[in-house]
Amino acid sequence: MAQSTARDEIFRFLSSAWEAGRNRPAAGAIRRSSRALGLPKPIGRLLKAAAVVGAFAGPTAAPALAQTAAAPSAPSVIVAPIVDQDVSTRFPFVGNVEAIQQVDLKARVQGFLDQVAFTEGAFVKTGQLLYQIEQAPFQAQLAQAQGQLAAGKAQLASAQANLQEKQLTLDRQTALVKSGTVSQAVVDTATADRDVAAASVQQAQAAIAQAEAQVQTAQLNLSYTTISAPIAGRIGVTNYTVGNLVNESSGTLSTLVQVNPIRVAFAIPEKDYVTVMRNASKGAKTPQQAETVTDETAIGAGPDPDSFKLSLVLPDGSSYKNGGKVEFINNQVNANTGTVTVRAMFDNPDNLLLPGEYVMVTIQVGDTTKMPVVPQSAVLQTADSTYVFVLDTDNKAVSRTITYNPQIKVNGGYAVTSGLIAGETVIVDGVQKVKPGMVVAPTYATAASNPGIPVTEEQQQGTEKPSATTDKTAPAATAPAAPAAGK
């Protein structure tokens, strides 16, 4: 009876170890039971080994329902449709904003500042008063010069009257010498007096000319006390305030720049220059000239500035709304940088462009065409290929090798030249959780969370479910090998 009870206890512990896979408690229990029952050691060891085998076999023998419950769920990913968009070849260059006109305002006479007549950073008109230097000293100099001029004119009048008198005396003496009344010596004396009077007139005239020059200088210096805006533009900070003494060596009082229109200068690498110029239309001419201009006369005319389609990207990443026009292309390549300098003009009514600002200049080459565009976040790179994950009809992620033109970018995406067609759905977020052939739980991207990714109105409202398509016309691609786990 005792042996039967011990045998039942051993079988109970052995079954527990087999089902639960907990070999250590079961083996210990068997060891204690075999000792308590006084079973031979070989039998105890056999039962202990059976318990250990059961512990390792237990998990594999678990029911299928337990395996299903432990299986991982499909990873959640964000997807977006491939849409055909208007694209063209574009060349981006770093540009520097420059003022077309810039004036450093400086004092031309010495004096104390009586007035700073502008608000720093304000827009001013041509001829608007900016600085006023004290005028009293220069007004006094002008009055003095004008007085000297008046004195000179009076002296001239006196000299002219004296000359007239001396001339009359000479005429009388000349008549008397003919009648023998006076000697020739008297006539000679009268002639000398007339010549002296004539010289006095010339001296007075020279003094007047000098006085007039002094008046003009005084007037000019007086005008220099008023510093006005030579161009319309935006005024900077003032380096001198009211009460300070300024003169020709004081340096720049303030800087005035023209901001509308404004210029952007950039450098084109020589290899890109060849492509851009080759695609630009040659022989620019008006419709009226088109009737008379021949191919021969158009040779050497250069590209039509209107054939360059320029756009800007501002420092904050936004697109500038106004297009530009090329106004200058240098006639030689910089030997040090291998680039050609180009300048373009842009309207700047909102004053978003300021001199010294760096922007991205894009030149569009060729005509616009429709091409499928893939979001940049969907594109994956390996050493051998570029690929994306495309969803099939069962929401399985299929690796698809693609090719794209890096010079063609639209709204943060790439224009695909092969591998994708419009209507297919790609994973744009969560790709790190996906392996080829894995079933995923897709959710469409929204415009708010993924700017630049095309979404439909239904997708925005969440009423459309992702409907993956694998078009037979899409080029087949070999999926790149997935990286090994832990590497």
DSSP for 295-361, please give it.
HHHHTT--B-GGG-EEEEE-TTSPBPSS-EEEEEE-SS--TTT-EEEEEEEE--TT----TT-EEEE
Short-list 279, 284, 261, CA closest to 364: 279
Asked if pLDDT for residue 2 goes beyond 80, the answer is no
Short-list 249, 261, 257, CA closest to 229: 257
Q: Is 214 helix (H, G, I), strand (E, B) or coil?
A: helix
Q: Is 328 within 8 Å of 343 (Cβ atoms)? A: yes
Instruction: Label each residue of 178-204 as H, E or C.
Output: HHCCCCHHHHHHHHHHHHHHHHHHHHH
Q: Please compute the mean of the pLDDT values over residues 37-64 and round it to a whole number.
A: 52
Give the pLDDT of residue 291. Answer: 44
- Least confident segment among 331-345, 423-437, 452-466: 452-466
Give the pLDDT of residue 474. Answer: 41
Q: Please compute the mean of the pLDDT values over residues 388-399 and round it to a whole number.
A: 92
Give the pLDDT of residue 89. Answer: 76
Q: What is the pTM of this model?
A: 0.56
Instruction: Evaluate the CA torsion angle 429, 430, 436, 437 in order and state its sign.
Output: negative
Distance (Å) of CA 63 to CA 16, 58, 306, 457 = 15, 10, 76, 47
CATH class of domain segment(s) 105-253: mainly beta
Q: Tell which wins on pLDDT, 422 or 181.
A: 422
What does the alpha-carbon distance between residue 314 and residue 357 come to, in Å, rounded to a whole number? 9
Q: Tell which wins on pLDDT, 387 or 19.
A: 387
Q: Is 68 within 8 Å of 433 (Cβ atoms)? A: no
Contacts made by residues 317-321, CB under 8 angstroms, sequence distance 24+ = 320/346, 320/352, 320/353, 320/359
> Mean pLDDT, the chain, as a whole number?
79
pLDDT band at 308 (very low <50, low <70, confident <90, very high): confident
Give the pLDDT of residue 11. Answer: 55
**3-state helix vs strand vs coil in the chain, percent to 5:** 35, 30, 35
> What is 262-366's CATH superfamily?
Efflux pump adaptor protein, beta barrel domain (2.40.30.170)
Q: Tell which wins on pLDDT, 69 or 393.
A: 393
113-143 confidence digits (pLDDT tens): 999 999 999 999 999 999 999 999 999 999 9
Beta-carbon contacts of residue 227 (< 8 Å; ≥ 6 apart) = 105, 107, 129, 130, 131, 132, 133, 253
A 10 A CB-CB count for 284 gives 16
- Per-residue buried b or exposed e for 73-111, using 16+ beta carbons within 10 Å of the residue's own CB: eebebbbbbbbbbebbbbbebebebbbbeebebebebbb
**Topology of the domain covering 77-84+369-461:** 2.40.420
- Least confident segment among 179-188, 221-230, 274-283, 438-447: 274-283
Residue 155 is inside which H or E element, if any? helix 136-179
- The strand pair at 262-269 and 339-346 is best described as antiparallel
Q: Please compute the mean of the pLDDT values over residues 226-243 and round it to a whole number.
A: 96
Asked if pLDDT for residue 407 goes beyond 50, the answer is yes
Q: Two tokens at 375?
A: 């979001």
Q: Tell which wins on pLDDT, 244 or 296.
A: 244
DSSP 108: S
| 148 CB-side CA count, 13 A | 18
- Per-residue buried b or exposed e for 401-435, using 16+ beta carbons within 10 Å of the residue's own CB: bbebeeebbbeebbbbeebbebebbbbbbbbeebe
pLDDT band at 15 (very low <50, low <70, confident <90, very high): low
263-273 confidence digits (pLDDT tens): 999 999 998 88
- Domain residue extents for the chain: 2-70, 77-84+369-461, 105-253, 262-366
DSSP 282: B
Backbone angles phi, psi at 94, to 5 degrees: -80, 125
Asked if pLDDT for residue 341 goes beyond 90, the answer is yes
